[in-house]
Amino acid sequence: MFDFKYRFQWRQVINNLPAMLDGAWITFYTALLSMVIGIVIALTLLSMRRSNNVALRSVAIGWVSVARNTPALLQIYFLYFGLGAFGATISSWAALLAGITFNNAGYLTENFRGGLRAVPETQTRAARSLGMTSFQAYTRVVIPQLLRIVFYPITNQMIWALLMTSLGVVVGLNNDLMGATKALTDLSYRTFEYFAVAAIIYYVLAKLTFGVARLAGWKLFSY
Amino acid sequence: MIEIQNVHKSFGDLEVVKGVTMNVNKGEVVSIIGGSGSGKSTLLMCINGLETIQRGSIRVDGIEVHAKGTNLDKLRRRIGIVFQQWNAFAHLTVLENVMLAPRLVLKLSRSEAEAVAVKQLKHVGLGDKLKVYPGRLSGGQQQRMAIARALAMSPDYMLFDEATSALDPQLVGEVLDTMRLLAEEGMTMILVTHEIKFAKEVSDRVAFFHKGVIHEIGSPDQVIGNPQKPETVQFLKSVL
């Protein structure tokens, strides 16, 4: 009743592993870059969100709302094809990076907003009473303590970003882990083997990232 | 000199400070005593502009604190404040806590700031805790660190907002000793405090706050030793 005819061929997957690992590296640094930029934007959106200026606040609220309530896939599509329609062409990789960063910034802003409640208002008061400007108080006293509180959500977001870079394939990216794998399957039709290995690489990459983050968190926030 | 002229302060509809006038001269130690909600802490926050005022004026060395053009960041360098909740910066060591503002605000070099910080920490008896994070200190030690942090800016005035109220009883003494030391060194200080005995001992003048106004002000011997107003008598009876 279950006629299994498929013959696994792993040899050529092994032979092409270096290309896939090169892709994994691109996947990793794209995710990392999107996190670094995402965190900076999120901190900016957070202070905009808390400002008295209605325009600034609206921009921040709008950003968070769109990022969280529309599919990441569509966000990347819009950046690639949408911008293209206005004559502003960007590369597949840039569209992917921008899309994931847009998303990261939106989610992180909400995480940070929650975390900020755990940093007492009196910390800002103490900093201001020493003559620090509000910017100095925010960047030197509030943010470092905030980062400790939101370190786990940041790690989760990093892993999400790592996995979501696989969406680059929909806008033609062909050198990240998913893109490279897809290109290889197109040539060989060994879809199962390639995708299985790609999944394993994603898994290991995610686990490694989590482990390194844990170690870094332990080192950075041991106070 | 700090000149407080007919200051009014409200939170929404609730008027907390209802027309307070008093001067504090250079080198003077003035204690403000009174029940909870009498407006004494709020007045202190108004002096360095952490709170706004609705009416009246506060001048520090002739500078109008609540005028539009006043650079509060600059003014606050000269007015140290120590809070009831000591507000240690948890992510920095004791030394870094004290170095931060001299580095950022006074733009001192790392070594200069460190020298200032070490000096002030020794001053308050924390010379052996430089590399420790505040989380590992007792409340009294954290409060002394907060005093050193304020002193590192070389302020002309020190304001103490119930600096010992949140401490365990056995830790109050060490913080009061540090404050006494500053008073003896001639620092100009305004203390909002519930430590009546301490206020009597270190103050040049004592002000009794009641319902947002100064009910009685004078030498400690007068106000605490021989109060004239029934409210003052009543209050002192309840706390002594």
Divide the 240 residues of chain B into consecutive groups of 10 and give the mean pLDDT of each group. Answer: 95 93 95 90 94 95 94 94 94 96 96 97 95 95 96 96 91 94 95 94 95 94 94 90
pLDDT value, residue B147: 96
- The mean pLDDT of chain A is 92
Class (C level, CATH) for A11-220? mainly alpha
**Helix A151-164 / helix A92-116 crossing angle, nearest 10 deg:** 160
Burial class (CB in 10 A: 0-12, 13-18, 19+), A126: buried
- The mean pLDDT of chain B is 94
Q: Hey, what are A106's tokens?
A: 């939106």
Mark out chain B residues that contact chain A at CB-CB < 8 A: 48, 50, 73-74, 76-77, 79-81, 83, 85, 87, 89-91, 93, 100-101, 104-105, 133, 135, 146, 149-150, 153
- A-B CB pairs within 8 A amount to 66
pLDDT value, residue A1: 60
* Cα atoms in the 13 Å half-sphere on the side-chain side of B115: 5
Ordered by start, the domain boundaries in chain A are 11-220
Query: What tens digit of pLDDT does each residue of B28-66 get?
Result: 999 999 988 888 999 999 999 999 999 999 999 999 999
Q: How many domains does chain B have?
A: 1
The arithmetic mean of pLDDT across residues A58-72, rounded, is: 95
Nearest to B165 by CA among B210, B132, B198: B198
Give dist(CA B162, CA B208) in Å, integer.
Answer: 15
Q: Hey, what are A34's tokens?
A: 């999107």
The arithmetic mean of pLDDT across residues A54-82, rounded, is: 94
Which range of residues forms the domain containing residue B187?
2-239
pLDDT value, residue B75: 94
Of B48, B91, B150, the CB nearest to A145: B91
Give dist(CA B235, CA B232) in Å, integer.
Answer: 5
With cut-offs at 50, 70 and 90, classify the pLDDT of residue A201: very high
State which residue of chain B sits closest to A123, comparing Cα positions: B87
State which residue of chain B sits closest to A141, comparing Cα positions: B89
* CATH assignment of the domain containing B47: 3.40.50.300
CA angle at residue B126 from A134 to B138, to 5 degrees? 80
User: Cβ B77–A131 below 8 Å, yes or no?
Assistant: yes
Say whether B151 sits in a helix, a strand or coil: helix
Of A128, A130, A144, the CB nearest to B91: A144
Query: Which of A119, A125, A130, A136 is best to mutate for the B interface (most B CBs within 10 A)?
Result: A130
Which chain A positions have a beta carbon within 8 Å of B79's beta carbon?
Answer: 129
Q: Hey, what are A116's tokens?
A: 């900020």
Give dist(CA A83, CA A99) in Å, integer.
Answer: 12
ipTM of the modeled complex: 0.90
